[in-house]
Amino acid sequence: CANALVNAGVARVVGAASDPDPRVSGQGYAILRAAGVEVVEKVLAGEAAEQMAGYLIRSLKKRPEVILKIALSSDGKIGREGAGQVAITGDMARREVYLMRAEADAILVGIGTALEDDPALTVRLPGLENRSPARIVLDRQIRLPEGSKLVSGVDRVPLYVAACLEADPQRRAALERAGVRFIGTETHDGGVALPELLEDLAALGMASVLVEGGAKVASAFLADGLVDRIVLFQGPEAIGGDGIASPIDADHIPAGFRKLREMRFGEDGYAEWIRDFQG
């Protein structure tokens, strides 16, 4: 496009973020300057980087952007043990989550959430039903049931299961016949090796992954320093002493994150933090 701008006789170009891809980085600006075009760089660079985070992180770190989304009650709980899905936020907040899903390349959960909640992990907004991203389940030993909503929806939305290479080959074959795709993974501390998995997802073309749960998975991504953005929804009601504690809350955000925005969706609070990934 730099040559097209030169040929069009454009006198001045204002740019925000440079492309970090080493194959092209800086070459466009060099072509413009060599042709006598005035170039102004880094205008609203921070805002541009936020919008392009998936592409930039994938280019710089060779993995997708990881967005951790957690809905927690007023007393800091994300659910109730053995109760399946527990409604924490209202309709407006759920619609925002659907929009987040539509903007991501994949949604990721652990096998615990898949078994306990039996979620579909799709986008259920009018006009965006066909924008559901791929679903990914961390399932080291392949425990995902063939009759789950995740498996039954593979004809409409891709489903990947991240399992260790030594997992039951018969279970794998059964799910593959149903249309499930597998990613063979290494293990770390008894779970899926997350850095290697993210590299595999980047190789599949994914630039952003929305991590939706549960507590163990969220804690693992945080512990490995792999979270780039944290989104917390907080409902107005308490769950109580039998609730599952959230691994994170607004008062305990890891170092290195800055608050990006805060708002409300009806009675539910929303806050978002982002980590500076450049430099």
How many CA atoms are closer than 13 Å to the CA of 50, on its beta-carbon side?
11
**pLDDT for res 213:** 82
**pLDDT for res 279:** 42
**pLDDT for res 84:** 66
DSSP string, the chain: -HHHHHHTT--EEE-SS----TTTTTHHHHHHHHTT-EEE--TTHHHHHHHTHHHHHHHHHSS-EEEEEEEE-TTSEEEETTS-S---S-HHHHHHHHHHHHHSSEEEEEHHHHHHH-------STT-GGGPPEEEEE-TT----TTSHHHHTTTTS-EEEEEETTS-HHHHHHHHHTT-EEEEE-EETTEE-HHHHHHHHHHTT--EEEEEE-HHHHHHHHHTT---EEEEEE-SS---TTEEEPS--TT-PPTTEEEEEEEEETTEEEEEEEE----
Say how far apart CA 16 and CA 53 lie, in whole Å. 13
pLDDT in tens, the chain (279 residues): 899 999 999 999 999 988 887 777 788 999 999 999 999 999 998 888 888 999 999 999 999 999 999 999 999 999 987 766 788 999 999 999 999 999 999 999 999 999 999 999 999 999 999 999 999 999 999 999 999 999 999 999 999 999 998 999 999 999 999 999 999 998 887 789 999 999 999 999 999 999 998 899 999 999 999 999 999 999 999 999 889 999 999 999 999 999 999 999 999 999 999 998 654
Statement: the pTM of the whole predicted model exceeds 0.85: yes
**Topology (CATH) of 52-275:** Dihydrofolate Reductase, subunit A (3.40.430)
**pLDDT for res 277:** 66
Domain ranges of the chain: 2-46, 52-275
Tokens 């279970």, residue? 171
**pLDDT for res 266:** 96
Q: Which amino acid is at 115?
A: L
**pLDDT for res 270:** 98
**pLDDT for res 80:** 86
**pLDDT for res 133:** 98
DSSP 16: S
How many other C-beta atoms are found inside a 10 Å radius of the C-beta of residue 274?
21
